[in-house]
């Protein structure tokens, strides 16, 4: 692992996905143990889920990687978090993997994050397989889960294994391809015939397997339809290319915590899953070196670490690559592969491999590093946008000094965090996937960067406008000895269409205000518009005309006419029937058909305006609506609860609208 270049054909990149609590990390730990590189689940310090926040909560919060060798093949196993509020890392990792391994709890079945991530894999045509876990539990169900998976994702879901027993009798699996029983007892593996009492169920599942596989070979399919049963050897020959082309999705089973079925899973990955050379989009070996940053994270000893997937060419220590986003040249110092937090040095990496490099400047998740500076035409998967908005305020002046750099680094670690800084107010509004996501980030800020913050609700970006034309006069006349101040401006205001902002028109004739002072009047009006008469919010969508005024040959100045502009605007806006505007979000919700009514009712209760609904063709509906931003403060978490995590949410700023009078009065008087 630490010396020679590993050939592309001898690499397997596996992304482990699933809902929180399905046993993903336990499975990864057992894979390491079977390969001779760990002690298994519950023995010693975990290789993955080693961060304090993960150990406290008992589940993954960030992407982890373990690289190890098994049967002469290098496996790069990426363990992605499965919680609805920490899914951000799973999406960028899709481009680093050649197969996705979905772990399903046999006692629970398919859960919302399975559905969401399965769709994300399907959109990229990423090969998929399923490991039905926890068959040792009392409530575990095998056949119900197989039937449900095939109902959801079609007959392409192919049962390769089935439990020999179940619950407390679970001690092995039936290999449906070879129709043999593989039993594990006292740490030993033995093979034999399928027990008589399991024969009928095994035969039905083997038939389902054959049906799934022959769809990928025209000759086999034709013979099968003519009643000729293909041999195990013929079916096995279709396996590799069928998996690589997403022609079918193998289903294996076992118990990660008991170690049953894990060895068979590893064998299957090595023998049947595609290498980077066999993936749907094979990687060029001889082109310019191109690497994709699949993850950025911080190590308290090494600093920033970037996880790189080599898309083409080869990577060597001390190579110089150009970050296509910034144009900066980056020197790759020591390369290493990861086994949890353990760093194993390597000298080079071939196309398809995944390695890590430390201390690259301003390189973050999703970036492309290229030898010639040319960015390849690839679609990069983006994490879901966060919609839970909060302000993170420093707890003290000492924290204020460190907060900006800490937030920048932590948002590079977690690309699902979005940060907007208001330079005038000095506030930092951050978007998260939910309150748990906020809590985890606050804990990391404290532990990794020594920054204490206070979490506050994000302010709503209210604006003000006018409803009718009005006139105003601004007089700034002062005489206090020596040069005085003299400026008089007459203006007319009129409403503009929503979103037009501000326009200014000079209608001065006869030089009553010299041309050199006209810009000062406009500057004064713009200054006054920063704070409206209702709640001190910025005023927008106003056209101002400067129609008359007076000047003094000695006492007039830019400052005097700027103040005249301020006073004229304040005089006019009070008479122009000012109104409060609120930001409106366009909300797009994809939900199961059965929940459409409940979701639309919830949106209506938030003063939402339904724009329409469309069937997506997979038993779900897309609901589109405009909803006031003020009503969406906790919507992301409540929507997840309402849909039991089965809905997908997308929302973004659309426009500002007038706040209804009754609600505006309540807001302004609160």
Asked which of 114-123, 128-137, 142-151, 426-435 is least confident by mean pLDDT, the reply is 426-435
The 3-state secondary structure of 597-640, one letter per residue: HHHHHHHHHCCCEEEEEEECCCCEEEEEEEEEHHHHCCHHHHHH
Confidence of residue 531 (pLDDT cuts 50, 70, 90): very high
Q: Where are the alpha helices (DSSP H) in 335-434?
A: 397-413
Share of the chain above pLDDT 70, in %: 93
Q: CATH number of the domain that 509 lies in? A: 3.30.230.10
On whether residue 375 sits in a domain, the answer given is no
On whether residue 619 sits in a domain, the answer given is yes
On whether residue 502 sits in a domain, the answer given is yes
On whether residue 280 sits in a domain, the answer given is no
Are 628 and 513 part of one and the same domain? Answer: no
Are 594 and 450 part of one and the same domain? Answer: no
Are 262 and 319 part of one and the same domain? Answer: no
Asked which of 28-32, 81-85, 644-648 is least confident by mean pLDDT, the reply is 81-85
Are 629 and 558 part of one and the same domain? Answer: no
Model confidence at 425: pLDDT above 70: no
Burial class (CB in 10 A: 0-12, 13-18, 19+), 479: exposed
How far is 160 from 202, CA to CA, in rounded Å?
A: 10
Model confidence at 618: pLDDT above 90: no
Model confidence at 149: pLDDT above 60: yes
Are 133 and 185 part of one and the same domain? Answer: yes
What was the pLDDT predicted at 1?
Answer: 45
Q: What's the rounded mean pLDDT across residues 379-402? A: 83
Are 487 and 522 part of one and the same domain? Answer: yes
Q: Which of 300, 355, 362 is nearest to 325 (CA)?
A: 362
Are 475 and 447 part of one and the same domain? Answer: no
Are 188 and 74 part of one and the same domain? Answer: yes
Give the total number of structural domains in the chain: 5
Model confidence at 244: pLDDT above 70: yes
Burial class (CB in 10 A: 0-12, 13-18, 19+), 360: buried
Are 400 and 493 part of one and the same domain? Answer: no
On whether residue 319 sits in a domain, the answer given is yes
Model confidence at 128: pLDDT above 70: yes
Domain containing residue 363: 290-370
What is the DSSP code (8-state) at residue 521?
A: H
Q: CATH number of the domain that 640 lies in? A: 3.30.70.240
What was the pLDDT predicted at 5?
Answer: 87
Are 104 and 250 part of one and the same domain? Answer: yes
Model confidence at 134: pLDDT above 90: yes
What was the pLDDT predicted at 459?
Answer: 85
Q: pLDDT tens for residues 12-26? A: 999 999 988 899 999
On whether residue 380 sits in a domain, the answer given is no
What is the DSSP code (8-state) at residue 95?
A: G
Q: CATH number of the domain that 232 lies in? A: 3.40.50.300
Model confidence at 345: pLDDT above 80: yes
Are 41 and 127 part of one and the same domain? Answer: yes
Q: CATH number of the domain that 301 lies in? A: 2.40.30.10
Q: What's the rounded mean pLDDT across residues 197-206? A: 94
Confidence of residue 515 (pLDDT cuts 50, 70, 90): very high
Confidence of residue 193 (pLDDT cuts 50, 70, 90): very high
Q: pLDDT tens for residues 472-508? A: 999 999 876 667 899 999 999 999 999 999 999 999 9
Instruction: Tell me the two tokens of residue 87.
Output: 């899914």
Q: What's the rounded mean pLDDT across residues 265-292? A: 84
On whether residue 2 sits in a domain, the answer given is no
3-class state of residue 201 by DSSP:
helix
Mean pLDDT of the chain: 89
Q: What are phi and psi of 422, to 5 degrees?
A: -95, 105
On whether residue 401 sits in a domain, the answer given is yes
Model confidence at 431: pLDDT above 80: yes
- What pTM was estimated for this model as a whole? 0.81
Radius of gyration of the chain (CA): 32
């Amino acid at each position: 692992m630490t010396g020679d270049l590993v050939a592309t054909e001898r690499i397997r990149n596996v992304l482990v996905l699933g809902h929180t609590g399905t046993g993903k990390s336990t499975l990864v730990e057992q894979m390491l143990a079977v390969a001779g590189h760990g002690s298994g689940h519950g023995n010693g310090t975990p290789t993955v889920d080693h961060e304090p926040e993960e150990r406290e909560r008992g589940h993954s919060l960030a992407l982890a990687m373990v690289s190890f060798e098994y049967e002469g093949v290098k496996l790069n196993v990426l363990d992605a978090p499965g919680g609805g509020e920490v899914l951000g890392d799973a999406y960028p990792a899709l481009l680093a993997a050649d197969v996705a391994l979905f772990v399903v709890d046999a006692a629970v079945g398919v859960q919302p994050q399975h559905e969401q991530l399965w769709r994300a894999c399907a959109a990229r045509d990423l090969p998929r397989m399923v490991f039905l876990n926890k068959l040792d539990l009392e409530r575990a169900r095998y056949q119900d889960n197989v039937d449900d998976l095939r109902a959801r994702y079609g007959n392409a879901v192919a049962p390769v294994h089935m439990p020999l027993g179940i619950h407390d009798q679970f001690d092995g699996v039936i290999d449906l391809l070879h129709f043999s029983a593989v039993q594990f007892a006292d740490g030993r593996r033995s093979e034999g015939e399928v027990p008589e009492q399991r024969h009928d169920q095994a035969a039905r599942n083997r038939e389902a397997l054959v049906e799934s596989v022959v769809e990928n070979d025209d000759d086999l399919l034709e013979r099968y339809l003519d009643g000729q049963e293909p041999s195990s050897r013929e079916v096995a020959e279709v396996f590799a290319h069928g998996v690589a082309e997403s022609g079918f999705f193998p289903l294996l089973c076992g118990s990660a915590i008991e170690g049953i079925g894990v060895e068979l899973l590893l064998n299957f990955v090595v023998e049947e899953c595609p290498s980077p050379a066999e993936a749907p989009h094979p990687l060029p070996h001889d082109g310019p070196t191109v690497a994709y940053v699949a993850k950025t994270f911080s190590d308290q000893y090494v600093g920033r670490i970037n996880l790189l997937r080599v898309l083409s060419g080869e990577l060597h220590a001390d190579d110089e690559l150009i970050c296509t986003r910034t144009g900066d040249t980056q020197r790759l110092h020591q390369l290493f592969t990861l086994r949890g937090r353990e760093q194993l040095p390597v000298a080079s990496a071939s196309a398809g491999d995944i390695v890590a490099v430390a201390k690259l400047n301003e390189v973050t998740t999703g970036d492309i590093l290229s030898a010639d500076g040319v960015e390849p035409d690839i679609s990069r998967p983006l994490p879901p946008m966060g919609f839970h908005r909060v302000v993170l305020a420093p707890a003290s002046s000492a924290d204020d000094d460190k907060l900006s750099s800490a937030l920048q680094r932590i948002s590079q670690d977690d690309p699902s965090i979005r940060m907007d800084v208001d330079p005038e107010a000095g506030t930092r509004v951050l978007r998260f996937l939910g309150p748990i996501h906020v809590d985890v980030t606050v804990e990391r800020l404290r532990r990794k960067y020594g920054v204490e913050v206070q979490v506050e609700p994000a302010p709503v970006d209210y604006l003000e406008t006018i409803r009718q034309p009005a006139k105003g006069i601004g007089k700034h006349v002062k005489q206090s000895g020596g040069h005085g101040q003299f400026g008089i401006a007459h203006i007319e205001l009129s409403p503009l269409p929503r979103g037009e902002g501000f326009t200014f028109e000079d209608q001065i004739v006869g030089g009553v205000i010299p041309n050199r002072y006209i810009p000062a009047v406009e500057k004064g009006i713009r200054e006054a518009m920063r704070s409206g008469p209702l709640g001190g919010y910025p005023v927008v969508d106003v056209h101002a005309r400067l129609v008359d005024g007076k000047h003094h040959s000695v006492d007039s100045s830019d400052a005097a006419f700027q103040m005249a502009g301020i006073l004229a605007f304040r005089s006019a806006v009070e008479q122009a029937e000012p109104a409060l505007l609120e930001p409106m979000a366009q909300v797009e919700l994809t939900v199961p058909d059965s929940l459409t009514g409940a979701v639309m009712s919830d949106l209506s209760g938030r003063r939402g305006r339904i724009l329409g609904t469309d069937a997506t063709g997979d038993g779900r509906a897309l609901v589109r609506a405009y909803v006031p931003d003020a009503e969406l403060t906790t919507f992301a978490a409540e929507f997840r609860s309402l849909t039991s995590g089965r809905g997908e949410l997308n929302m973004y700023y659309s426009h500002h609208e007038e706040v209804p009078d009754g609600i505006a009065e309540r807001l302004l008087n609160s």
